[in-house]
């Protein structure tokens, strides 16, 4: 397992999915915390809606980073780092919502009434409690926001004072000790009132926090002011009528604003747009043009398929492309525009496959696939894929048909042979894949929608210059698989490349639907393991996209295989992932990563490795160590956390991939 995931804590790395799961599971508790921390001066109705809004806005937009190696967990840490993160966000926003608006200070979002959720025509508030709850509510209303937060953390969350101070500091409280002292005052007041009244069996203040009086998820409803609502409705009706009259006057002919101003007529009457929707204007490349062309890409693909001459089908496909209705299922790779064609597109294919009529267009920037059932037009679908700057390999094949488990490819006219190779079985020979006269392959199992990683079938194509491996990642354009250092990669068809890809293939699931053009993997280090446990491999995989941005880098650790184990039976472990990083690429081929590894004897070690230009490695944090060279192995305790850094020969500092 990776350094980041060995011992999660409240400050460790948190994924969006992890935070969402914690929020959904403990939503009532989080809303109760927000309700108790919000100032009572807001009123119970607004406190209820604001509490729900703060919790629903607490999800992170992206992965929350943490240190490279997890540290030892403290007894007071939250059980789930996802819950700890969401709870911290809820506390921070609730404290901000209690701050007064000032003229010279920039207002914060939490200080305004929530946009969602909204309830019209009703006022919502929790159930009314008894005298104890009322007394506690009055005591809490006299506290500051941090004081209420401290009391709730200690009473409702059962946190110790040390953890309360740490959570308050993380939420932005400037003086957590003062907040804790305020909470102590509430406990003393509750105890004193109980002693004065002789009610020794009265519930403590902490226990009262679980009362329905403070539950904003179990609510009562009452109507708002009906007379005032009727007056506001009449005023809104008059304002809407005035806007309609003004808009009509502005749209009248004359020198004022017209309906479309200086714009040309709509595309239905625009010559260029009309040509783009005319099936007779669709570009058709002759079948033998590619043989004498100086370039080999989609622009020299001939129009193929039994329905290439069906003008009715082409007209329907172009119309849906330009004006898709709400019933059309549309999908596009990231960064691909989904607008209508800018001119007459090029026809690549039109035919019937697996009970579906399929049309493929190319407009120089995109490949567009239109599909509709043979019976009727309900359930039409559009798929957009960016394919600009494609070369002979990038234009070798397209996904022309997809079912639940299988996929068909339309191959380029220069592809001579096609076969299927399972990446997880590197020693097995590929089996031939037949094609019809149009270049459409027989169905082959696809890993794009597979839930597990039992097999990973790729398309092997052979043209006049060599063999290539292409894999389906759920898009129209398959991704090319490469092997070797960034400066000189080759197609992953050699014996060594297949052996390493057999342990790396399952990581391709992390780049599905990402608009990937190619995935390049290479072994940047080999490391002797402590206790004579063999040699491990460090592999870096970089996924490049068609749009040029949004690349994804994965660092993987592959310990030696046990005797008799197939490569597919022990996949490499992803220890780091980075989006948009130049690492492992032509611009920055350096990679540095670390992992916490358990030796056969049961002892734990922090292992780290970098590319050969790394002169030394250092560990800091929970584990400290130093090693000359680009490999490091330091004994550590289970669940240790450490930060891995390196130095190049020129003294430049490099950090671990994350």
Summarised one tens digit per residue, pLDDT across range 278-315 is: 999 999 999 999 999 988 999 999 999 999 999 999 99
Pairing of strands 356-362, 366-373: antiparallel
**Better-scored residue on pLDDT, 85 or 239:** 85
Neighbours of 21 (CB within 10 A): 15
pLDDT digits (tens, 9 = 90+) for 324-361: 888 899 999 999 999 888 889 999 999 999 999 999 99
Q: How confident is the model at residue 246 (pLDDT cuts 50, 70, 90)?
A: low
pLDDT at residue number 258: 39
pLDDT at residue number 257: 35
Identify whether the C-beta of residue 516 lies closer than 8 Å to the C-beta of residue 543.
Answer: yes
Pick the CATH number of 590-658 from 2.60.40, 1.10.3470, 3.20.20, 1.10.260: 2.60.40
Q: What six digits make up the tokens of 51?
A: 């509490």
pLDDT at residue number 4: 33
Does 210 have pLDDT greater than 90? no
Most confident region among 179-193, 242-256, 270-284, 434-448 by mean pLDDT: 434-448
**Better-scored residue on pLDDT, 322 or 132:** 322
Surface-to-core class of residue 621, CB atoms within 10 Å of its CB (0-12 exposed, 13-18 middle, 19+ buried): middle
User: What is the rounded average pLDDT of the residues 320-326?
Assistant: 89
Q: How confident is the model at residue 111 (pLDDT cuts 50, 70, 90)?
A: low
Q: Is the four-CA dihedral 251, 253, 255, 259 of positive or negative sign?
A: positive
pLDDT at residue number 104: 65
Q: How confident is the model at residue 249 (pLDDT cuts 50, 70, 90)?
A: low
pLDDT at residue number 24: 85
* Angle, helices 81-97/44-56, rounded to nearest 10 degrees: 140
CA 379 to chain centre: 28
Q: Which residues contact 112 (CB under 8 A, 6 or more apart)?
A: none
Identify whether the C-beta of residue 149 lies closer than 8 Å to the C-beta of residue 245.
Answer: no
For the chain, the domains span 3-101+108-222, 228-259, 273-390, 417-569, 590-658
pLDDT at residue number 203: 47
pLDDT digits (tens, 9 = 90+) for 416-465: 999 999 999 999 999 999 999 999 999 999 998 888 888 999 999 999 88
**Better-scored residue on pLDDT, 268 or 467:** 467
Q: What does the alpha-carbon distance between residue 166 and residue 193 come to, in Å, rounded to a whole number?
A: 31
Identify whether the C-beta of residue 515 lies closer than 8 Å to the C-beta of residue 335.
Answer: yes
pLDDT at residue number 147: 86
Pairing of strands 466-471, 457-463: antiparallel
Does 95 have pLDDT greater than 90? no
Nearest Cα neighbor of 40 from 218, 225, 164, 216 is 216
Does 636 have pLDDT greater than 50? yes
Q: What does the alpha-carbon distance between residue 499 and residue 47 come to, in Å, rounded to a whole number?
A: 60
Does 563 have pLDDT greater than 60? yes
Does 21 have pLDDT greater than 90? no
Residue 105 DSSP class: S
Percent of the chain exceeding pLDDT 90 equals 48
Q: What six digits make up the tokens of 204?
A: 């403590």
pLDDT at residue number 76: 46
Letter string b/e over residues 27-58, b meaning 16 or more CB atoms within 10 A of that residue's CB: eebbbbbbbbbbbbebebbbbbbbbbbbbbeb
**Better-scored residue on pLDDT, 254 or 346:** 346
**Better-scored residue on pLDDT, 65 or 547:** 547
Identify whether the C-beta of residue 63 lies closer than 8 Å to the C-beta of residue 15.
Answer: yes
Q: Which residues contact 527 (CB under 8 A, 6 or more apart)?
A: 535, 536, 537, 538, 607, 609, 631, 633
User: What is the rounded average pLDDT of the residues 3-31?
Assistant: 67
Does 77 have pLDDT greater than 50? no
Lowest pLDDT segment from 63-77, 111-125, 620-634: 63-77
**Better-scored residue on pLDDT, 149 or 472:** 472
Lowest pLDDT segment from 558-562, 569-573, 581-585, 587-591: 569-573
Nearest Cα neighbor of 312 from 340, 282, 339, 348 is 282
Surface-to-core class of residue 176, CB atoms within 10 Å of its CB (0-12 exposed, 13-18 middle, 19+ buried): buried
pLDDT digits (tens, 9 = 90+) for 479-524: 999 999 999 999 999 999 999 999 999 999 999 999 999 999 999 9
Q: Is the four-CA dihedral 582, 585, 588, 589 of positive or negative sign?
A: positive
Q: What does the alpha-carbon distance between residue 626 and residue 616 come to, in Å, rounded to a whole number?
A: 7
Nearest Cα neighbor of 468 from 393, 552, 375 is 393
Percent of the chain exceeding pLDDT 70 equals 84
pLDDT at residue number 425: 92
Q: What does the alpha-carbon distance between residue 219 and residue 206 come to, in Å, rounded to a whole number?
A: 21
Whole-number average pLDDT of the chain? 84
Identify whether the C-beta of residue 94 lies closer than 8 Å to the C-beta of residue 179.
Answer: no
Helices (H), 142-197: 145-155, 161-170, 176-197
Q: What six digits make up the tokens of 599?
A: 């030796």
Does 403 have pLDDT greater than 80? yes
Q: What six digits make up the tokens of 105?
A: 């200070």
pLDDT at residue number 250: 52
Helices (H), 61-120: 81-97
Q: What six digits make up the tokens of 499?
A: 């052996």
Q: How confident is the model at residue 25 (pLDDT cuts 50, 70, 90)?
A: confident
Would you state the torsion angle of the CA atoms of residues 290, 294, 296, 297, taken in this order, to the nearest 10 degrees? -100
Place of tokens 């149009």: 438
Lowest pLDDT segment from 178-187, 296-305, 387-396: 178-187
């Amino acid at each position: 397992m990776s350094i980041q995931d060995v011992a999660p804590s409240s400050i460790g790395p948190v994924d969006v999915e992890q935070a969402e799961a914690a929020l959904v599971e403990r939503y009532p508790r989080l809303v109760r915390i927000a309700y108790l921390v919000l100032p009572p001066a807001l009123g119970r109705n607004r406190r209820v809606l604001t509490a729900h809004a703060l919790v629903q806005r607490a999800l992170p937009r992206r992965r929350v980073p943490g240190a490279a190696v997890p540290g030892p967990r403290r007894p007071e840490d939250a059980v789930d780092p996802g819950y700890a993160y969401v709870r911290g966000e809820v506390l921070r926003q609730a404290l901000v919502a209690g701050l007064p608006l000032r003229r010279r200070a920039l207002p914060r979002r939490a200080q305004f009434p929530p946009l969602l959720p909204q309830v019209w025509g009703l006022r919502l508030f929790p159930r009314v409690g008894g005298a104890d709850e009322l007394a506690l509510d009055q005591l809490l209303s006299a506290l500051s926001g941090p004081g209420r937060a401290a009391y709730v953390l200690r009473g409702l969350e059962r946190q110790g004072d040390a953890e309360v101070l740490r959570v308050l500091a993380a939420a932005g409280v400037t003086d957590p000790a003062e907040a804790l002292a305020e909470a102590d005052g509430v406990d003393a007041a509750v105890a004193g009132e109980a002693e004065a009244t002789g009610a020794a069996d009265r519930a403590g203040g902490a226990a009262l926090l679980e009362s329905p009086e403070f539950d904003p998820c179990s609510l009562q409803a009452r109507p708002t002011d009906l007379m005032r609502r009727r007056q506001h409705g009449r005023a809104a009706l008059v304002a809407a009528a005035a806007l309609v009259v003004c808009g009509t006057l502005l749209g009248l002919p004359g020198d004022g604003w017209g309906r479309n101003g200086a714009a040309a007529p709509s595309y239905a009457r625009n010559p260029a747009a009309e040509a783009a929707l005319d099936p007779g204007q669709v570009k058709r490349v002759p079948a033998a043009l590619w043989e004498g062309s100086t370039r080999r890409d989609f622009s020299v693909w001939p129009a193929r398929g039994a329905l290439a001459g069906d003008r009715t089908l082409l007209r329907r496909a172009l119309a849906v492309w330009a004006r898709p209705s709400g019933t059309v299922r549309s999908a596009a790779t990231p960064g691909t525009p989904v607008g209508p064609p800018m001119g007459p597109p090029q026809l690549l294919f039109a035919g019937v496959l697996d009970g579906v009529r399929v049309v493929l267009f190319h407009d120089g920037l995109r490949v567009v696939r239109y599909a509709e059932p043979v019976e009727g037009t309900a359930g039409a679908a559009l798929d957009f894929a960016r394919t600009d700057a494609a070369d002979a390999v990038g234009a070798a094949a397209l996904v022309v048909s997809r079912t639940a488990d299988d996929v068909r490819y339309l191959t380029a006219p220069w592809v001579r042979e096609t076969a299927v190779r399972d990446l997880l079985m590197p020693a097995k020979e590929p089996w031939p894949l037949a094609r019809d006269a149009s270049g459409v392959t027989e169905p082959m199992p696809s890993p794009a929608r597979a839930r597990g990683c039992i097999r990973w079938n790729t398309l092997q194509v052979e043209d006049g210059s060599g063999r290539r491996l292409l894999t389906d990642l759920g898009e129209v354009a398959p991704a090319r698989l490469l092997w070797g250092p960034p400066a000189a990669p080759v197609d992953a068809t050699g014996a060594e490349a297949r052996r390493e890809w057999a342990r790396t293939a399952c990581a391709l699931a992390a780049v599905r639907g990402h608009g990937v053009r190619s995935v390049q993997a290479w072994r940047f280090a080999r490391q002797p393991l402590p206790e004579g446990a063999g040699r491990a491999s460090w592999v870096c995989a970089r996924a490049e996209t068609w749009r040029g941005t949004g690349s994804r880098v994965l660092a993987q650790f592959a310990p030696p295989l046990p005797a008799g184990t197939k490569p597919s039976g022990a996949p490499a472990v992803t220890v780091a992932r980075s989006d948009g990083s130049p690492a492992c690429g032509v611009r920055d081929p350096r990679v540095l990563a670390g992992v916490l590894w358990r030796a056969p004897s049961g002892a734990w070690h922090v292992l780290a490795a970098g590319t050969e230009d790394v002169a030394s490695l250092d560990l800091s944090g929970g584990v400290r160590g130093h090693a000359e060279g680009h490999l490091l192995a330091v004994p550590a305790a289970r669940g240790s956390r450490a930060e891995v850094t390196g130095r190049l020969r020129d003294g430049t500092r490099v950090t671990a991939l994350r």
